[in-house]
Each structure stands twice: as C-alpha cells, then as structure tokens.
Amino acid sequence: MIPLFTTSDGEIVHCGLCPNNCKINSGKFGLCQVRGNKGGKLIIPYSGFISALAIDPIEKKPLYHFNPGSKILSLGFTGCNLRCPFCQNWHISQDTSICEQGQGKRMKPQEIISAALKAGTPSIAYTYSEPLVHAEYVLECMALAREQGIKNVLVTNGCINKEPAKVILELTDAVNADLKCFSAETYKKTLGYNVPAHAQDMLQAVLDFIKLCYEMGVHLEITTLVVPELNDSQEELNDIADFIGSLNRDIPWHLSAYHPDYRWNAPPTDRTFLLNAAKEARKKLTNVHTGNI
C-alpha cells in the first residue's frame, strides 16, 4: 500500500485526506482512529479489514435511480472521521476493537472483486462505516472493479478534501452523500469530536464534495437523516433543498427517519412530520424520497 494524501515532518504525519487535517504524533492515530503514525510514517493497520460483507438491494444504499432493482455487494470497514452521537452503525464506525475480537476478516482487493463476480452483482458499494478513511484500499478495489466492468458505488459522509476527492471520484460511478445538516456549527460541535483548530469547515467540505460529484458526472443522490432537535427545522431543510436545487432539481434527496441510538435519546422522527417535510421539498426538487418509516 502506498500512502496517499499525507506528508511527514520529522516525527509528525500530516494527513491531508479530510478536513480534520490531523497532525499525528508517533504512536498516535488521527480522529478517524484508522490512520496512524509509526516512527514518522503513516500506518493504516486495519486496511483490508472488512467489518461487514453482504448482498443488498441497491435501493438500501439508498440509490433509487442507479441500476434500480439490482443487487449490490456491500462492504464495510471500521472507523470514521465524524463522531455523530446518533450514529446507527456506531459498533463499527466508532470502535475499531472489533478488528482484534475476531469479528469480520481481512480481504485482499482481488477477493472483493471475486466475491462480486461469484455473486453476479453488477456493482460494489463501499459503505456501512466511512469508506473514505480507507481511501488507499478503496482505490485498489475500485481499479480492479473497473477492469472487470463492475460499477463502484460510494456511500459516504463526503468529509474529504478536494484533491483526494477528485482521485476517488475518477473511479466512482455512483455516490450517495450524507448531508447531515446545513450548519457549520453543528458539524463542528455535535458531529465532530475534539476538532483541531487548524481543521477546515466540515460543512463546506461536504458541499464542495457534492458539487464535485455533480461536476464530474458521477451519479449522485443525497441523504439527510432528520434528527429531532438537531436539523429538523423547516428553515434548515429548506436550505438543504435550495442547495440541491442550485445544482440540479432532479438530484434525488432521501429524507430518512431517525431512531434513538448510540448516545442520542431524542424521540424518533415523527412519520407525519417527515412526510410533510418531503411534500414541502417537492416544491423545489423533483425526486424526494422518505425512508426508515
């Protein structure tokens, strides 16, 4: 594995993959808990460790307008560069200890492609936890998939710097990007964790990633988990709809219902509220879908 998007300054590794821009001391890890420093060199000890592997309907990603009705091979990793307190996959995104507990297994990129070919799935999804913190491994898989005519699907929080994003999107056929809210403050104080002073605006990074997907012609769908007391004001939902519409009103938007999980105990998203929010959004956007209800 050749480390990408990183530089070393003596004993310090500067990770340039995501807006956290972690400066990692030797023997430590970045905020993602995955990308570390050993003797002044980047290490990714959990690279190739697959925490989950399944065949899903593509609509589960959710992608409703890309190869509808098809199956997709989904693989997950460990770690994440966010700390969402309501994370519904927190067992793998917030805890890398499963790598030492015998859960999941290591797989070489070629084994992933072989699994997709054996299952006959036309696409592979890099999903469940945050795949972008394993960018090097994902890129290896994507390149091999392209050679076999298999489509690459990225399900991501979109928290990545622009240059790495360009490299990854060159090999990506479809993206579902998680636009969690429309508040830089919420990203920093609620969704981040001990965000360093030199970190960049996380919301802006996500918006830039979404714009880049659209500009590069990658099939794009967007998901927002509607969380009571966090991002469920009509004003904020309107801001998201306006942003999507400023790119193309035909970009699908998935409004997904939250349920209490991990460290967030607000009541579940009200079904009627979510349906009304979708109805309102359809005044601005063509394809608005609701999920988890």
Residue 266 has pLDDT above 80, yes or no: yes
User: pLDDT confidence of 193, banded at 50, 70, 90?
Assistant: confident
User: pLDDT confidence of 85, banded at 50, 70, 90?
Assistant: very high
pLDDT for res 7: 78
Q: Where are the domains of the chain?
A: 6-291
User: pLDDT confidence of 2, banded at 50, 70, 90?
Assistant: low
Strand partners for 261: 264
Asked whether the CA dihedral 102, 108, 112, 117 is positive or negative, the reply is negative
Looking at 3.30.450.20, 1.10.275.10, 3.20.20.70, 3.10.129.10, the CATH number of the domain 6-291 comes to 3.20.20.70
pLDDT tens per residue, range 131-176: 999 999 999 999 999 999 999 999 999 999 999 999 999 999 999 9
Q: 147, 229, 133: which is closest to 181 by C-alpha?
A: 229
Residue predicted with more confidence, 193 or 262: 262
pLDDT for res 95: 85
pLDDT tens per residue, range 122-132: 999 999 999 99
Q: How many other C-beta atoms can be found within 10 angstroms of the C-beta atom of residue 185?
A: 9
